[in-house]
Structure 1
Amino acid sequence: MSTTARSIEHYIFAKDANRPHLLRQAFTPDSSLEMVVHTGAISFPPQVSGRAGIADVLVRRFGQTYENVYTFCLGAPPEAGAGSHACKWLVGMSVKETGELRIGCGEYHWRFEPQSGLAEHLRITIEYMQACTAQDLEPVMNWLQALDYPWCLPGKMIDGAPPISNIAPIMEYLKS
């Protein structure tokens, strides 16, 4: 597995498991984050500077609100030595306070430092963040747990999706 792919995996594992210390294996100390949010269902600051800031926004604060987080990168990991990588992503999670389900998708655009393979910039675009009832949590978690994690082929993800009307726009987005 390439160093750049491992950097992405460390980010996913840090965010999903609320382990900010893993970000030192994902981002350079002076890395930057850009958030492009096309939905009112979730909010993030548009710009974040430094690995510590990224850890605060994408791991610590995120982990205060959400649990049962599974994030997937669709498609193959980047090749060794890749300077950049773009892919669609999907996340499933529950809100700690209410148990409600959230399913979202969008795109990652990574730029890596050549020497270390660590990310020096990440742009996250959030296209959809759909709210579902707590009753939808079990079938969605069963679906997500059955997928290859964190790299998943889009067809496998789409084919196994439970029939929940709120996630239809997400499935259409992933097909495009």
Structure 2
Amino acid sequence: MPTAADSITCYLHGKDHNRPHLLSQAFTADARLQMQVQTAAIHFPALTAGRAAIAELLVTSFNQRYENVYTFCLGVPPPAVSASWRCDWMVVMSEKGSGINRVGCGRYDWRFAPDSGLVQSLHITIEQMQLLPPEVLPALIGWVTKLPYPWCPPERLLRQAPDLPALQPVLQRLGGFG
């Protein structure tokens, strides 16, 4: 049986690396995804039901628009057997068409099926999503590729962040660690 951390890691690798097949190792077939978007910089439906629909939304469709995706869960992984887990997250990605970079953050609230360890429900809160020009991609990639993935201590992420004014709202939010 996968651990809670295994399920979360499969989700992140599936989403970030455009591997929808990995979501079968992350979510139950009838999983539910709720999204609470608190910024106008990105849009998602409020509710998505079923692993296949979640994979379509967060992997297949997502990766048609974005590349260079790095999503970090901040802090330590959950205990092996967990009913639920909450963690802050940060994402860095670039738009394929425009080259615009996005750096966002928020909170994940996970619930796991007791019989399988797979994600039964996920509530994603998107609190910040900053847009940065294409020319800062090398600085962003230089930053995120030096961080431990997908679990990263928030203080390390903050300490190694590039000095880009547009990052400040995200870094300030993460500096409070929730």
Q: TM-score, normalised by structure 2?
A: 0.97
Identical aligned pairs, as a percentage?
A: 50
Separation in 2 of the partners of 1:33 and 1:123? Answer: 6
Post-superposition Cα deviations, 1:10-69, rounded to whole Å, max 9, x if no partner, equal: 000000011100000000000000000000000000000000010011001100100000
Post-superposition Cα deviations, 1:73-117, rounded to whole Å, max 9, x if no partner, equal: 000000011110000000000000011111000000000001110
Matched letter for residue 71 of structure 2 = T
Aligned residue for 1:137, secondary structure, equals helix
Q: Map of 1:9-20 to 2, 5 A cutoff?
A: 9-20=9-20
Separation in 2 of the partners of 1:59 and 1:124? Answer: 15
Matched letter for residue 35 of structure 1 = M
Unmatched segments (≥5 aa) in structure 1: none
Equivalence for 1:126: 126
Matched letter for residue 109 of structure 2 = H
Equivalence for 1:72: 72
Using the TM superposition, give the Cα deviation of residue 118 of structure 1 relative to its aligned residue in structure 2, in angstroms. 0.2
Aligned residue for 2:170, secondary structure, equals helix
Separation in 2 of the partners of 1:24 and 1:169? Answer: 35
Unmatched segments (≥5 aa) in structure 2: none
Separation in 1 of the partners of 2:145 and 2:155? Answer: 16
Aligned residue for 1:68, secondary structure, equals strand
Aligned residue for 2:57, secondary structure, equals helix
Post-superposition Cα deviations, 1:115-139, rounded to whole Å, max 9, x if no partner, equal: 1100000000000110000111000
Question: Number of matched residues?
Answer: 175
State the 4+ residue runs in structure 1 displaced beyond 6 angstroms.
none
Query: Cα RMSD over matched residues?
Result: 0.7
Equivalence for 1:103: 103
Equivalence for 1:25: 25
Using the TM superposition, give the Cα deviation of residue 162 of structure 1 relative to its aligned residue in structure 2, in angstroms. 0.2
Q: TM-score, normalised by structure 1?
A: 0.98
